[in-house]
Structure 1
Amino acid sequence: MRRQKRDQSERAFQKGYMAGVNGKNKEQCPHEQEAIRQQWLTGWREGRTDQWDGYTGVSGLHKVEIR
């Protein structure tokens, strides 16, 4: 049975979140399409907020499901 591809916007959010938690700059967003870019930036903002709040390492694993 074939695996279904993940939703591109969901994947962009997760990648943006991981970039934010790791302290990367939002200018490193790899997406050109506006809707996908917005999802990445939303994830990045949430990741930065979690980094500032101390949700890094093991304490932040519950935030994003890594596949």
Structure 2
Amino acid sequence: MKRQKRDKTERAFAKGYHVGNAGRGNEICPHHEVSEQRQAWLNGWREGWTDHVNGFVGISGLSRVNGLTEYDMS
């Protein structure tokens, strides 16, 4: 848990992924200045949006953001 709070780029990626996977727009990015965190959030949003469009929602979407595949979950 502490590592997640320390690594702000990974956390920004995960938050962006969840927003994209929910089908929400990228204009709600909380990072306004150009930074590593903004780029990570937008990269996460792009992957989440792609998964949303391809139908990866719920558990299948969450496993992708955590670095797991369907084979790792069994």
Question: What is the SS of the residue equivalent to 2:11?
Answer: helix
With a CA cutoff of 8 Å and minimum separation of 6, indicate the structure with the bigger relative contact order.
1
Deviation at 1:60?
Answer: 1.7
Q: What is the percentage of aligned positions where both structures have the same residue?
A: 52
CA RMSD of aligned residues (A): 1.4
The one-letter code sitting in structure 1 at the alignment partner of 2:59 is V
More helix by share: 2
How many pairs does the alignment contain?
63
Question: What is the SS of the residue equivalent to 2:55?
Answer: coil
Unaligned 5+ runs, structure 2: 67-74
Deviation at 1:58?
Answer: 2.5
Unaligned 5+ runs, structure 1: none
Deviation at 1:64?
Answer: 2.1
- Paired residue for 2:10? 10
Q: Normalised by the size of structure 2, how large is the TM-score?
A: 0.75
